[in-house]
Structure 1
Amino acid sequence: MSDVRVGIVGVGVMGADHAERVVRKTSGARLVAVSDADQARAEELADRLPETQGVGSAARHAGGSSYGDGIRVVEDPLDLIAADDVDAVILASPGFAHAEQLFACLEHGKPVLCEKPLTMDAASALRVVEAEHKVGRQLIQVGFMRRFDPEYAALKQLLDSGDLGRTLLLHNVHRNRSVPPSFRSEMIVRDSMVHEVDVARWLFGEEITRITVYTPKPTSLVAAGAFDPQLAVFELASGAMADVEVFVNFQVGYEVRCEAVAERGSATIGLGSGVFTRAGEHWGGAMPADFRVRFEQAYDLEVQRWIDATARGEIDGPSAWDGYAAAAVCEAGIESLSSGKPVDVALADRSKVLG
């Protein structure tokens, strides 16, 4: 089969990382086009990737009509999505642009790997789910890459096996070394905590029905009025519970841990030792600098499996519904952040939406 020809919208930190991944690590895929609001950044990326050797910027510019072996830089992301030489799209653009770009992918029948969030609010996310359903097949996969991380996958397998009995509690830690000053309190919920929202839904296999976000004493390293760290409690449909501490100006490094507590034991990941079942041992090790180091293998597996599934006409990962459900929980979380009170999650009836 021919390679899947990929276009990437948004080549900031995450999009550039995916571009390198498609070019250097992913079999069955070829990067053919990129688009970014910062034209110079897109040009620089295209210039330094192997496929662009010998291809000048003028030939690659959006106005050019020649589809050569190089990576084209397309000014308008909607033009990239519509291009005949783009089979599938990775969206790593800002969340506020996702809805329009996702609708374009659906209109043109393009499989899309969309980085979180699916959209910025639950209402628009639900419209995306409904629009995809009308297309008649799943085209959207959401970039909740933790499902592809070998440690998380092993934890899921262990919990599903029943060897530890029913899972009762989930404890999560999500810490970044630092974030820009523009990373507001609401963004901690929508852009960071959203990963734990998906993890809880996935590991328990059920929906979150209520969320409470607490704001402990904030670090002195953020501006007045910013809430960092945050502590959230999720209540799930069965009565199980999960909590997460999100601290995005931790100063030490990037740390993600998850402990599942079940009837007959517990299991912890994120300690640098695979799935760790507590039995009196001690451990230690280095801490990665950022998320690209900690989850490099997860991203590699995610993109490779997305390409393989795209070639089969399928998706192989979190769906548009998963993105919508996470958006609904985060929307309730932002309301709880403001009020300091528990907020029920307003989730559409899946059977009515998807039939």
Structure 2
Amino acid sequence: MNERSTPSSSHSSLPILRVALIGLGSRGLRTLQRYRHLDGVSVVAVADKEPKQIAEAQALLHAQGMPAPLCSSTEVQDIFQRGDVDLVLVCTDWFSHAHLAVEAMEAGKHVAVEVPAAVTLEECWQIVEVSRRTGRCFFLLENCCFDPFHLHTLELVGSGHLGEIKHSEGAYLHDLHTWEREHASEVPLYRWMDEGHPFTSGNAYPTHGIGPMSQLLGIHRGDRFTELYATSALPEQPLSRRLSTILLRTARGRTALLQLDLSTPRPYSRLQSVMGTEGYLCKYPSPHLQLSSLPEALRGDAVADFLARSAPSPMDRWIKEGQAKGVENVMNYVMDAHLIDCLKRGIPPAISVEDAALWSSIIELSAWSEETNRPVPIPDFTQDRPAR
């Protein structure tokens, strides 16, 4: 992925990044573990409404040989008021992501937020407007955009090997209900889709699919999504058990397919396919590359070998770094290292606040479309909010 300019403004450089982490559940603690691998970063504060989670975070830091945070609190305001915090990582429940990010930016902090960035359209516009007004960076922690296969695919597309891109497909297909049964999980992994969610239809978890597709289609970098149509199989079921399918169209007449399925017993897949006038490439169910310039199609490991040779990414250094350090999931390491590097250098990251808002807006837009059985227009978050 070339570190192309994004719609967001650049930010002043930071020699050492002082980080605060809010939300110390399973995702937050794993994020804390990830940060032990990063250079030039200091975790100065942690917060969670449960004291036992704070204690677990402190024990984790101690076990990893990292300094104890200067501040551990059950109140997020204690974090926002500190003058020694540059970046706030938000790893709380979905429904608090946007308002915590807004508060952090209003307090002068950069923010990195777990997916989704927001749940409603109103929240999507809020994060865009506050980031622009305060000049603070808003970064969405969408790790699928830093999958090495995707990074090399993006370079292949940029080099013109696939010709003019016409269509892309992305998804999150993950049989979590079977996993819960097999592991006797007492707490459903995706209960937040079914308890307290403001919408009862649509795609509640779109960013793993829509993020990489948007980058491949150049969304906000020469093209934009204009409308979508959403439908679901099993509409009588809760959100987490539906099969959501969305068709999207761009201003340049290209198309995209986005799916979500957490309950049927099919293999894990994010699809990750892209089609152009001169070729086709996909990652799932197994890598396949077909180019008009190649005598025959490539499959399996041969695809990865070709991509590494013919479409190297500027982020390959972090892929190699993460592999050398033995990190659990290299795309998380690449994402974290990229964000830290951008903030320390004062340059915009690869995912802008406008990207984060667009990808998250699919939640409400798809609900509207499914409920009305009609296509719905997609806002242009690179422009000002339309008058109401």
Give the TM-score normalised by structure 1: 0.80
* Other-structure match for 2:227: 210
* Other-structure match for 1:158: 156
Residues 125-204 of structure 1 aligned to structure 2 (within 5 Å): 125-135=124-134, 137-178=135-176, 179-184=189-194, 186=199, 189=202, 191-204=204-217
* Other-structure match for 1:36: 48
**Are 2:355 and 1:322 aligned?**
yes
* Other-structure match for 1:46: 58
Change (3 A) 1:313 1:225: closer
Match of 1:12 among 8, 17, 25: 25
> 1:230-251 CA deviation, whole Å, 9 max, x = no partner?
1111111111111123111244
Measure the CA separation in 2 of the matches of 1:282 and 1:157: 19
**Are 2:262 and 1:248 aligned?**
yes
**Are 2:281 and 1:267 aligned?**
yes
Measure the CA separation in 1 of the matches of 2:203 and 2:38: 29
CA drift of 1:270 comes to 4.0
Change (3 A) 1:53 1:228: same
Measure the CA separation in 2 of the matches of 1:48 and 1:35: 14
- CA-based RMSD of the aligned residues comes to 3.0
> 1:198-230 CA deviation, whole Å, 9 max, x = no partner?
223221112211111121247xxx956865111
Measure the CA separation in 2 of the matches of 1:187 and 1:161: 42
Q: Tell me if the contact between 1:6 and 1:32 (Cα under 8 Å) persists in the aligned partners.
A: yes
Identical aligned residues as a percent:
18
> 1:308-335 CA deviation, whole Å, 9 max, x = no partner?
2222233422111112222333321111
- Which structure's relative contact order is higher, taking Cα pairs within 8 Å and 6+ residues apart? 2
Q: Tell me if the contact between 1:177 and 1:249 (Cα under 8 Å) persists in the aligned partners.
A: yes
**Are 2:32 and 1:22 aligned?**
no
Q: Tell me if the contact between 1:109 and 1:139 (Cα under 8 Å) persists in the aligned partners.
A: no
Q: Tell me if the contact between 2:202 and 2:368 (Cα under 8 Å) persists in the aligned partners.
A: no
CA drift of 1:70 comes to 0.6
Residues 323-342 of structure 1 aligned to structure 2 (within 5 Å): 323-342=356-375
Change (3 A) 1:139 1:22: same
Match of 2:245 among 222, 231, 235: 231
Counterpart code for 1:120:
V
**Are 2:356 and 1:346 aligned?**
no
Q: Tell me if the contact between 1:155 and 1:269 (Cα under 8 Å) persists in the aligned partners.
A: no
Aligned length: 323
* Other-structure match for 1:62: none
Change (3 A) 1:73 1:331: same
Higher mean C-alpha deviation, range 91-100 or range 186-195: 186-195
Counterpart code for 1:267:
L
Higher mean C-alpha deviation, range 159-168 or range 94-103: 94-103
Change (3 A) 1:264 1:342: same
Measure the CA separation in 2 of the matches of 1:233 and 1:96: 26
Q: Tell me if the contact between 1:115 and 1:143 (Cα under 8 Å) persists in the aligned partners.
A: yes
Change (3 A) 1:180 1:225: closer
CA drift of 1:347 comes to 3.2
Higher mean C-alpha deviation, range 203-212 or range 77-86: 77-86
Change (3 A) 1:235 1:202: same
Q: Tell me if the contact between 2:166 and 2:276 (Cα under 8 Å) persists in the aligned partners.
A: yes
Q: Tell me if the contact between 2:271 and 2:282 (Cα under 8 Å) persists in the aligned partners.
A: yes
Match of 1:297 among 297, 315, 330: 330
Structure 1 outlier segments of 4+, above 6 Å: 51-54
Aligned to 1:239, the other structure's residue is in SS state coil
Counterpart code for 2:232:
T
